[in-house]
Amino acid sequence: MKIDWAALCSVFGVSLLATVALVGLFTLGIVGLSKQEQATANGGSAAMARTGAYAAFALCAAAVAFGIYLIVT
């Protein structure tokens, strides 16, 4: 049996990059929601923080849906 090390490293690199990107997007969403609570507590408007958090969560969900699409097809 012969292992194609270049392909294995390529798959590992793409998987690592995708994982870090998804975790980063989700973290941005969580931070945005915490900034929303902080702005509300200080009497300010939280619309921008909420919008950014929802956008990060939507991008995260879109990336997961695209990954599922790639697996199914």
Full DSSP string of 8-26: HHHHHHHHHHHHHHHHHHH
Q: Are 18 and 35 in contact (CB under 8 A)?
A: no
Give mean pLDDT, residues 9-37. Answer: 94
List pLDDT tens digits, range 27-61: 999 999 988 878 778 877 788 889 999 999 999 99
DSSP state of 41: H
pLDDT at position 57: 97
